[in-house]
Amino acid sequence: MDSINKTGLSNQRGAFGLPRFGFSPLSICVVVITLGVMTPLLFLLWLAASSGVSHWEHLLKYVLPDATFNTLMLLLGVGVLVMVIGAGCAWLVTAFDFPGKRLFSWALLLPLAMPTYIVAFAWLDLLHPIGPIQEVIRNLLGYSGPREFRLPDLRSMTGAILLLGLVLYPYVYLTMRAMFMSQPAHLLEAARTLGLSSTGTFFRVALPMARPALVVGTSLALLETLNDIGASEFLGINTLTVTVYTTWVTRSDLAAAAQIACSMLTVIILLLALEYYGRKNQRYSTGRQMRGILPTRLTGVHAWLATLCTLLPVLLGFVAPALFLGWESIKRLSDSMEISTSLLQSLQNSLLLAMGVTVVVTLVSLIVAWYARSSAISGGSPETRRTLMKVASLGYAVPGTVLAIGLLTPGMALDNVLAELFNYRGLPLLSSGILLVICCSIRFMAISIGAIDAGLTRIPPSMEQASRLLGESESRTFFRVHLPLLRPALVTSALLVFADAMKELPTTLLLRPVNFETLATSLYAEAARGTYEEGAIAALLIVLAGTLPVILLARSQLSSSKSKQQ
């Protein structure tokens, strides 16, 4: 009877044991967080609409056609390349056994640790007319100098597509490999029995079944392409993102930058619609009794060809740039035998920014994910709670330049209020970096929410019910049951957010305080001046910060594949 009474009492209470009437503190927090995520987009639309028609006429005539064409061409080229590399490598390591397969199954994720602007930074120096690669080629062919022989300039649309594709294909590789591993083997065996070759089985059976994963992975890669600013600018591609930055910073025209950013929102909506179209049809269930794909052993030329195909993306997208950065860093340190104070200050600023963003994102994401999980929240159906969680995760789909412009107007207004209230000279939120932390937190919240929500779904409701029947309140159940079980998900999400914050460039360029340089902005400045050797150490530090989370992600993928094969 006591347990029944306790259960009945818990049904009358909301989050953390509070009565179930009205809004609970937790639900109010989630609504505030959701409004905070939507605020930059709403102010961006308002700023663009209130800027007058003359801006639009100038943009439509002189700016948007070229920038939009370049952006669409870049998205198209990168989309095709990441699909080919990601899907092809995922099928090779899933369906075949060849030399180096175990290594490449996780090494193919390593380019995720390499920001796009660092890859462009490294390859521009590697392929410079007087760089090491062209020097070796000229020596082999018997040419004396760059005037007699030189490779095509990397600063082109083709170069941008190749470099971005080599960095972003892991998004497709991750989703496609997960889908291939879950496909039942009997369907592929039936196709082979009916006379299809291995190639025909891939294109007519395996690939169509994995189409939702292909669309989702490609959409993520394209969103990252749209967010890129460093690589596109280094390679001379005037995209919408680069145009927003130059319009705001170089021309000091915030209104025109907002209007260009609104044009980017159109592209973002199309990409999100594409991602939703692919995800809504992801309904393939294999069942526990169905056997997964058994790899076919390749021999001879086919085996070494498969090894080469999986080696090249890793070599070009991670190994070669990382070795170059390491070599340049060693040369730089051997010449001066010390690290400059400005680089140490940039490292300190990057660590402070990344830690601040990680703490904020983890706490906020925990609140949002727990709100969507909780079955006793007052007000709102489960569908409403899940919808609010999705809206809170929307920031990752919006480029950092767009978020920064949308957040600047309300941030400046709040700054002025706080300055008057506390008699503060200057802008407290902007000058202290709080506005930058908020903007980065909005952008990276989706990463943490997704990881924590996935961790919560693995905790059976029976554990929570048992704790409540034993007399624990909802808050004590959360801290004593859920939080310890969520530790792996929290650590993983914190590492991913930390790595992304360390390498974030567009948001930091636009919202950083005066004289506040991070490793990313220092590298951007050195590359803009053409002094690549000075930025090698900063680039290497950023890559090292991103490598650990990627290795952990690769290990989890490897253990997952082993469990599925067993």
Residue ranges of domains in the chain, CATH in brackets: 49-281 (1.10.3720.10), 336-560 (1.10.3720.10)
- Residue 559: its pLDDT value, please? 58
For 139, the token pair is 């020596």
- Residue 316: its pLDDT value, please? 94
- Residue 289: its pLDDT value, please? 46
Q: Which long-range contacts (CB under 8 A, 24 or more apart) does 480-488 make?
A: 482/370, 482/456, 485/455, 485/458, 485/459, 486/366, 486/452, 486/455, 486/456, 486/459, 488/455
- Residue 380: its pLDDT value, please? 52
Distances 118 to 164, 287, 498, 505, 523 between C-alpha atoms, Å: 11, 43, 17, 11, 8
User: What are the tens digits of pLDDT across the range 116-151?
Assistant: 989 988 898 888 888 888 888 888 888 877 777 888
Query: What is the value of pTM for the model shown?
Result: 0.83
- Helices 254-280, 25-49: crossing angle, 10 deg rounding: 130
Q: Are 450 and 279 in contact (CB under 8 A)?
A: no
If you search the block for the tokens 């910073």, which residue do you land on? 249
User: What are the tens digits of pLDDT across the range 365-400?
Assistant: 888 888 877 644 444 567 777 787 888 888 887 888
- Residue 74: its pLDDT value, please? 94
Which residue stretches of the chain have pLDDT < 50?
Answer: 1-22, 284-289, 375-379
Q: Are 40 and 407 in contact (CB under 8 A)?
A: yes
For 141, the token pair is 């062919």
C-alpha span between 412 and 414 (Å, rounded): 5
Length of the chain: 566
Q: Are 231 and 164 in contact (CB under 8 A)?
A: yes
CB atoms within 10 A of CB 140: 8
C-alpha span between 106 and 88 (Å, rounded): 15
Q: Are 443 and 353 in contact (CB under 8 A)?
A: no
Q: Are 469 and 484 in contact (CB under 8 A)?
A: no
Alpha helices in 281-376 (DSSP H): 300-314, 320-336, 341-373
The helix/strand/coil state of 174 is helix
For 166, the token pair is 């080599």
